[in-house]
Structures are given as C-alpha cells and as structure tokens.
Structure 1
Amino acid sequence: MVNPGGAYLGADLFLVDVDVDEEADLLLTTQSATKVYRTPGSFAEQRMRVRLGEGARLEVVPEQLIAYQGASYRQVSRISLHPTSSFAMAEVITPGWAPDGGEFTYEELRLRNEILVQTAKGEQLLVLDNLLIRPPLGEVTGLGFMEGFSHLGSFVVVDRRVDHELADDFHELTRRHDAYTGVSLTNTVGGTTGLVLRSLSNSTGELNKLLGTCIDVLRERWHGQESLNLRKY
C-alpha cells in the first residue's frame, strides 16, 4: 500500500478494504512508515475492513507507525475470518522526533482490532484488542503500562493450528531479544484460536526483528516458506 500523501494530517480519513478469496494468499505491507503529524482540530483516522474466505491466508506486515508531536490518531481494524483461514498481523508504534527532545509528545493513539469468526450462527467475536495511549495524562511512563519503554510492538495470529505449544515457542524466542514481552491465547471459536504477543522496547529495529522472527516461524512451520524478505532497504 502506498500512502497518497507524505503523512496523515488532521481530519484525514483513510479507508482500506481487503477481500482475500477462497484459497488465496496475500502479503500486505506498506511502502514506508506511516507518519502522523500534528493534527490540530481533529484526529487522523484509518479504518480497515478485511474478509477472508475459506482456506485464505493474509499476512499484514506494515512499516512502523510514527506519531509526531501534537498527533492524534485512531485506527480501527475489523477482520472477519472463515474457520479454515489464517491471519497474522505485526505492528510497531514509535514516538516521532520532537524539537524539545521529548519522547512522548503525541496527543493520543487509539488502535482497535476486532477479529470475528464466520460460523453457522453468524459472525462471532474472537478478539477485541483495544489500545489507548495518552501521553499528556502521563499514561506511558509509569509502571503498569509502558514500564518506561518508548516503543510498542504487537503481533496477532489467528489460525486453527494455534495452541499452547506455539505460545510456549514464541515465549522462548522472545528471550533472545532486548524487549519486554508477554504472550497470551484467546478462547476458541469455530475451532479457531488466536494468539496475541505484545512487546515493549526502546528500539524500532529490535521490535521489527522480534516480530519478523515470529512471522518466519509460522511461514516455515505451517507453509514451508523461507524467511520474509521485503527488500525495502
């Protein structure tokens, strides 16, 4: 995906609509980092709707989201999966440079992921992941939220093959990276289970390496593919 402008600005609304048909595979990434500049008057927003057909597979691997001084941004993603489809998404949030050297100078970030599974009784909610960061209220530097770290990484995978063994393997591989990480499993809906990994660090590069390793584990274990190489740099 190519951003039609240099960055997101106040009152910008971007709509992303993705359908992956039956037995199709899609790797979706961005050409460069998503930058959110100062948004006086109103927040910038991205809404993404994704629908996966039977046996479909989607990997969402965007470059990092960078929120600059005075930025307010909302991102809402609604993903609907067939019980036999496979979904993985990796995201990194980075605070942008500020003239005063401050690390948390954006106003607010809201990221909401709704993941639903298509069943005989209609769509049923599997994952509701809500993230809200408000630096002006001091909600990022204290214990219990960001633990003093500046960068946040998230990895979500939904697949019938997700289990406790995979969660344990991810937990073990996080030990090799300079990041503070937790891994959890969701309930099972229609035979499909979700895994959510959230990681804190002070380095975009370290989080990219960690999430990239997670993606590569799935590519090799489930699909017999080599490590992901987007050849951007």
Structure 2
Amino acid sequence: MERYSLTTGLREQTILKDVYFTAPFNLVEVRENKKNQLLEMMVMSSSPGLLNDDCYDINIEVIDGSALNLQTQSYQRIFVSEKGTNQNMKVSVGESAYFSHVPHPVVPHKGAKYTAKTTIHLKKSSTLLWGEILTCGRKYMAEGEQFQFKKHHAITEIYQEGIMIFKDNLYIVPKEINLEEFGQYEGFTHQGSLFFVTPQIDVAQRMEHISKRLSKEEGITFGISKVMDNAYALRVLGNEAEQLYKLFTQIRKEEDNAINQTLGIN
C-alpha cells in the first residue's frame, strides 16, 4: 500500500506540522509568499501513474484556524489493471479552517479498472473547495482509446458536523452504459465536478459570477446548483482536459486569494 498523510499547524500563518509518505510520493511546500496564511503543498510522484493492484491511502488533517491548498504535479494516469487499482482518501477540516483541492484530470488508459472513496468531514465554520475531472482516456492515441477503460467508480462523501451534505457517486462502465445518451455525456468526452461550501455566506453571487464566466466559454456545457444557502455544486462537460482544469483552477485561485485577504495577509 502506497500512502501519504499531512497535518497542518499554526504559528503566525499555517505551517506544515506533520507529514509522512512512502514511495512513490513526496510532499513539498510550493508557497511563494511565506507571509501568506494559506499553506500551499504539492504532491509529487516518481510513478507514471496507478499500476495493477496499486492502493493509495491518503489522510489530510487541516486543524482549526489553518488554511491549506493541496496541488498535484501532473495528470493522474491509470494503467491497464486486471486486479484493479484503488484510492482511499480521508480529509478532516477543523473549525474556521480552509481546504482547497483541484487535482489534475484523471486519465484511465485502455483496460484500466479504478475504484476511489473520498470522505471529507467538516465543521460548521469550515470552508471547502473540492474538484475532480475525469477524461475519456488517451483521446488522441492513433489507435483511439476513447472510453476504452473497464471501470471507473469514484465516491465522494462530504459531512458537516456528522451529517452528509453532499454525495457524488460516479460509476462508469463503458461496455454497460451508452455514454451518448441523454443524461450521460451527450457527445462530450470529459467531465468535471466542483463543490464549494463556506460558513454564513450566501453563495448566490459566486454562482452568478461563475455562470457568467462559463457561459462565454466555447466547447462546454455546465450546470450549477445551490446545495444549501452556503454551498453549491458545479458540473461541467467538455472535450478538452486542459480547458476544464484551467477553469477550475481559476475558481480555486480566487477562493485561495480570498482566504488570504479574509485573514488579513496578502
């Protein structure tokens, strides 16, 4: 089992208190302005991706009053896997704490079989920005690997004070599902989901801002819904992984900057 864990700490700003990782992982700080409250960490890997029978175990703890952005180094490739590959991720975000994570897109190769479970626990005063992007595979391969993976099953559960407020159950078996159908991909090849929750703030203005921006974007379709007064869920369909990743990263950077300003550090 390959694993990494990270726990934040607090001094004048958020620091890295505890970190542990096994091969192929390495975690490094990439915060350029050391005065920023937000701790920016990057997960690096010496592996080309998830290989047959790989199992990733990830634990993140963002303590009370701290702020963390967790980044990835590159696209997550999932190789052909007869036994399958797995990832289990647990995240805890404390009182008045902030966590943002918009990883690079997942690219399942031909024959890949992948299962992932993510569980996130929040407090009432926690802020979370969580994104995921799934591609159809190696779309531009000469042989064509569009939706040639065996299975992709990713479950994300988000709890606030022990009560589930959001669940995303993405189950795709291309041989069993017609992805061209209405309610499925409808001609698109990539999909991304983004969830945001923040305490005591109506997200209507944020949703309007995102809708206006995305409505000007060519080659995508999207839907955004208010989950609660202080939470929204965004789903985007497109044909280019980099386009979706850039859109989500823009939103993430805006929220990252906002948390620094809120905490009075620029």
- Shared topology, TM-score over 0.5? yes
Runs of 4+ in 1 over 3 A off after TM superposition: 219-225
Amino acid at match of 1:215: R
Is 2:144 aligned against 1:101? yes
Alpha-carbon distance change, 26 to 221 in structure 1, aligned in 2, over 3 angstroms: closer
User: Who is 1:44 aligned against?
Assistant: 85
Amino acid at match of 2:177: G
Aligned with 1:132 (options 158, 167, 171): 171
User: Who is 2:256 aligned against?
Assistant: 219
TM-score (norm 1): 0.86
User: Who is 2:208 aligned against?
Assistant: 168
Is 2:59 aligned against 1:59? no
Counterpart secondary structure, 1:136: coil
Distance 1:12 1:162 in 2: 41
Q: CA shift at 1:19, angstroms? A: 0.3
Alpha-carbon distance change, 222 to 162 in structure 1, aligned in 2, over 3 angstroms: farther
Is 2:248 aligned against 1:208? no
Amino acid at match of 1:84: S
User: Who is 2:30 aligned against?
Assistant: none
Q: CA shift at 1:36, angstroms? A: 0.3
| Root-mean-square deviation (Å) | 1.9
Alpha-carbon distance change, 5 to 219 in structure 1, aligned in 2, over 3 angstroms: closer
Q: CA shift at 1:132, angstroms? A: 1.1
Is 2:184 aligned against 1:145? yes
Distance 1:176 1:197 in 2: 16
Distance 1:12 1:102 in 2: 22
Is 2:31 aligned against 1:14? no
Q: CA shift at 1:124, angstroms? A: 0.8
Amino acid at match of 1:172: K
Q: CA shift at 1:126, angstroms? A: 0.7
> Please, which runs of 5 or more residues in structure 1 have no aligned partner?
226-233
Aligned with 2:73 (options 9, 31, 36): 31
Q: Does the Cα contact within 8 Å between 1:72 and 1:109 map onto a contact in 2? A: yes
Q: CA shift at 1:221, angstroms? A: 4.7
TM-score (norm 2): 0.76
Q: CA shift at 1:2, angstroms? A: 2.4
Is 2:197 aligned against 1:158? yes
Q: CA shift at 1:115, angstroms? A: 0.5
- 1:65-99 C-alpha deviation (Å, 9 max, x unpaired): 11010011111110001111111012221132256
Q: CA shift at 1:195, angstroms? A: 1.2
> Please, which runs of 5 or more residues in structure 2 have no aligned partner?
1-42
Alpha-carbon distance change, 162 to 222 in structure 1, aligned in 2, over 3 angstroms: farther
Amino acid at match of 2:235: R
User: Who is 2:160 aligned against?
Assistant: 117
Counterpart secondary structure, 2:171: strand
Alpha-carbon distance change, 4 to 162 in structure 1, aligned in 2, over 3 angstroms: farther
Amino acid at match of 1:184: S
Percent identity over the alignment is: 24
Counterpart secondary structure, 1:95: coil
Q: CA shift at 1:139, angstroms? A: 3.2
Alpha-carbon distance change, 27 to 216 in structure 1, aligned in 2, over 3 angstroms: closer
Q: Does the Cα contact within 8 Å between 2:102 and 2:248 map onto a contact in 1? A: no
Question: Which deviates more, 138-147 or 30-39?
Answer: 138-147
Question: How many residues are paired up?
Answer: 216
- 1:44-85 C-alpha deviation (Å, 9 max, x unpaired): 111100001111111112111110100111111100011111
Distance 2:125 2:105 in 1: 29
